[in-house]
C-alpha cells in the first residue's frame, strides 16, 4: 500500500470523530474515509456477552472484524486515508501504518449527554454507559497515554469546526514536509 498519508481519528464515544472525518473532504481531494463502525461483527455470537446487562460488549476491539478492515485499508488508492473509530489504536497493525494519530477526549458528563441522545440498535441498557462504556474508555485512554507518545489529543468539548481545523492544519503540515 503506498499512501502519502494515513490518519487515525480515535477516542471517546460521541466525541465528534465521524463529523471531523466527514469534514475533511472539504479541504483535501483524493481522500478516503473508513469508519470502524462499518466493521462491527453482525453475528452477535461473535461478540462478548455481558450477562448482567443482557447485552453485548460493543466497546471492545474484538467487537470489530479488524481483519476485514485491514483488507479494506490495503485496497485504498487515495493519497490520504482517514480511519475513524473509538478503538483503532488498539490494533497494532493500524498503529504501525498511521502517520498522524488523533485521540479525542471528553469528560464523562458531556459524553453521556451526547450518547443518550442517540439511538442504538439493539437499544442500550440503562447501565451500559456507566458500568461498561465509561470504564472501558478510561482503560483505553490510559493505555493510549502510555503506549502512543505521538498522539495528538483533541478536546471533544471544543466545536467540531475547531477540532476539524486542528486536524486539517496537521495534515497540511505533514503534506508540506513530504515535499
The total of other beta-carbon atoms located within 10 Å of residue 115's CB is 18
Distance in angstroms (rounded) separating the CA atoms of residues 21 and 24: 5
User: What confidence score (pLDDT) does residue 2 get?
Assistant: 44
Q: What is the pLDDT of residues 49-72, one digit of tens each?
A: 999 999 999 989 999 999 999 999
What is the domain partition of the chain in residue ranges? 5-178
Which sign, positive or negative, has the C-alpha torsion 42, 104, 94, 136?
negative
Q: Is-above-0.75 flag for pTM?
A: yes
Statement: residue 120 has pLDDT above 90? no
User: What confidence score (pLDDT) does residue 30 get?
Assistant: 92
Question: How much is the average pLDDT of 2-9?
Answer: 82
Distance in angstroms (rounded) separating the CA atoms of residues 14 and 119: 12
Which CATH number describes the domain made up of 5-178?
A: 3.40.50.300
Q: What is the pLDDT of residues 91-118, one digit of tens each?
A: 999 999 999 999 999 999 999 899 888 8
Task: Tell which wins on pLDDT, 117 or 81.
Answer: 81
Amino acid at each position: 500500500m503506498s499512501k502519502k498519508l494515513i490518519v487515525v481519528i480515535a477516542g471517546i464515544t460521541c466525541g465528534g470523530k465521524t463529523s471531523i472525518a466527514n469534514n475533511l473532504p472539504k479541504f483535501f481531494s483524493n481522500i478516503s474515509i473508513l469508519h470502524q463502525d462499518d466493521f462491527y461483527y453482525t453475528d452477535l455470537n461473535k461478540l462478548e456477552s455481558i450477562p448482567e446487562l443482557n447485552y453485548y460488549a460493543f466497546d471492545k476491539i474484538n467487537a470489530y472484524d479488524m481483519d476485514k478492515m485491514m483488507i479494506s485499508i490495503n485496497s485504498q488508492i487515495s493519497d490520504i486515508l482517514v480511519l475513524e473509530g473509538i478503538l483503532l489504536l488498539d490494533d497494532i497493525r493500524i498503529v504501525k501504518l498511521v502517520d498522524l494519530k488523533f485521540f479525542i477526549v471528553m469528560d464523562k458528563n458531556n459524553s453521556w449527554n451526547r450518547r443518550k441522545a442517540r439511538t442504538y440498535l439493539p437499544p442500550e441498557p440503562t447501565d451500559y454507559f456507566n458500568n461498561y462504556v465509561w470504564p472501558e474508555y478510561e482503560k483505553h485512554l490510559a493505555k493510549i497515554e502510555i503506549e502512543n507518545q505521538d498522539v495528538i489529543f483533541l478536546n471533544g468539548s471544543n466545536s467540531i469546526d475547531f477540532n476539524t481545523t486542528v486536524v486539517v492544519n496537521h495534515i497540511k503540515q505533514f503534506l508540506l514536509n513530504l515535499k
